[in-house]
Amino acid sequence: MGPPTDTIVAPCTAVTGGALAVIRLSGHDAVCIFKRLVAHGGRKTATLRDWSATRTVLTEPETGINLDDVVVTLFRAPRSYTGEDVVEISCHSGRATVERLVGALLSAGARAAEPGEFTYRAYRNGKMDLAAAESVGDQIAALTGEAARAATDLRLGALRGTLADVRAALVSALVQVEAAISFPDEAPDLDAQAVEGHVRDAAAILERLVASARSGALLRQGARVVLAGPPNAGKSSLFNALAGCARAIVSPHPGTTRDLIESTIDLDGYPLTLVDTAGIRDTEVEVERTGVELAMAAAASADLVVRLHDAAHSAADDGDVPVTTSVLHVISRCDLACPGSLERLAGHLPEGALRVSSASGEGIAELQRAIVRALGGNRQAAGSAILTRERHRVEAATALGACRRTLGALAAGVEPDLMAVDLHDALRALDRLTGVGVADEVLERIFAEFCVGK
């Protein structure tokens, strides 16, 4: 990231067929640079008012050629997204119009913003903590309403409030421990019970947060769910039933599907990529064999394999579906089963194999719930803090580990000095979570994930 004093510019909207685009200028000279483009006879920038929108025409300063008529909104520091002077230009959309305007602003003295630089400046200027800054990217990338909601909650401080409670409890414990260290003669003996109470309070919240991390990551990143099994077991039919549309070809001929077919679905708010595959069997047909290889590779790298066993065949097939992760066994086409065959098939499978029929809809809702459960999904109430990133989980787990060591030390009657070391460790981990004392390389990595304009 460049020095935080220069003025940066970038389009904040993607190039789409939409009507409008927004270009953002941020920095000490934002108003001055913008002013150079205001057309002669247009409204002068001096008349722009803070937090108000004004219509004006922008021109190329050297030639006077019109660039666009725009609506501009001024946000004076520090009451802006970045905490600096910000000028937001709503112009007409389209690559050429936006490029001409950005080009003119660059010629007028702005520098092209790097990826994530607006949000980086907002973080640096104390407009948001690091977890909130990270959630800006999450909100933009969210594929389901639930993922967007979690990102909004995070940005609006759901985690900040919870971490403040943890911090308050740890500080209360530390005050007592430090008093016993600093003034061993004057201070009363360490009130171990009070310290334990505070540390247990902190640990209980941290435990809940760490436990939320798997579900939080699933909400943010989604997962790949691969349907695999023998030919004609009903994989494509189940794929279509779960995707809610007739996306994959279904036919009574075994060996119909050869390519991998993907669809992103919203299952209880979690964005899952569902993959239909070729039926796995030995075959001399070259195209089908390639399909089987693709299916095997997809199953091997899946987050979850839904392994179909055809109820129309009473014996378990011996198709060799590779399973390196979790697997859900499903008895498919169960409406076609002969009397007793379901039981016989289930006898060959691990306990709890689900029975489904894409034709009748039987077991589909149960399968949907089982998929979410198997992936660790566990929805939290709106507004309650969850961890959505591995970075957050590591820091919360570090703080929790330090709390547990403190509780162990209390139980063992260890000197307070050692407890103070652990409590400080816990507080430092909380700081890093919200962005205090984070190494520059880590910050660079976090903001490099953003695109230009965020």
Binder to ligand GTP among 232, 398, 406, 434 (CB under 6 A)?
232
- Assess 335 for contact with ligand GTP (CB under 6 A): yes
Dihedral sign, Cα of residue 439, residue 441, residue 442, residue 443: positive
Contacts of 134 (CB under 8 A, 6+ apart): 154, 389, 391, 446
Binder to ligand GTP among 16, 47, 52, 251 (CB under 6 A)?
251
- Assess 257 for contact with Mg ion (CB under 5 A): yes
**Cβ neighbours of 382 (radius 10 Å):** 11
- Assess 237 for contact with ligand GTP (CB under 6 A): yes
Which of the stretches 42-50, 54-62, 89-97, 253-261 binds ligand GTP when contact is defined by CB under 6 A? 253-261
Q: Nearer to Mg ion by C-beta: 73 or 257? A: 257
d(Cα 270, Cα 18) in Å, to the nearest integer?
A: 28
Token couple for 159: 């985690």
Q: Which residue is nearest to ligand GTP (CB)?
A: 279
Binder to Mg ion among 59, 176, 236, 357 (CB under 5 A)?
236
Which of the stretches 12-20, 92-100, 142-150, 354-362 binds ligand GTP when contact is defined by CB under 6 A? 354-362
For the residues of 130-154, what is the DSSP string, one character each? HHHHHHHHHHHH--SHHHHHHHHHH
The single residue listed with the structure tokens 């839904």 is: 306
Q: Nearer to Mg ion by C-beta: 132 or 299? A: 299
- Assess 277 for contact with Mg ion (CB under 5 A): no
Binder to ligand GTP among 231, 319, 416, 453 (CB under 6 A)?
231
Q: Pick from 370, 254, 352, 246: which is nearest to 312 by CA?
A: 254
Contacts of 449 (CB under 8 A, 6+ apart): 115, 116, 137
Q: How far is the CB of 299 from ligand GTP (least distance, A)?
A: 13
d(Cα 47, Cα 64) in Å, to the nearest integer?
A: 21
Kindly identify the residues of this chain, within the stretch 167-206, that bind ligand GTP according to CB under 6 A: none
Binder to ligand GTP among 53, 287, 359, 436 (CB under 6 A)?
359
Q: How far is the CB of 307 from ligand GTP (least distance, A)?
A: 12
Token couple for 30: 């934002």
d(Cα 227, Cα 242) in Å, to the nearest integer?
A: 11
Q: Nearer to ligand GTP by C-beta: 231 or 377? A: 231
**Which stretches of the chain bind ligand GTP, using CB under 6 A?**
231-237, 250-252, 254-257, 278-279, 333, 335-336, 357-359
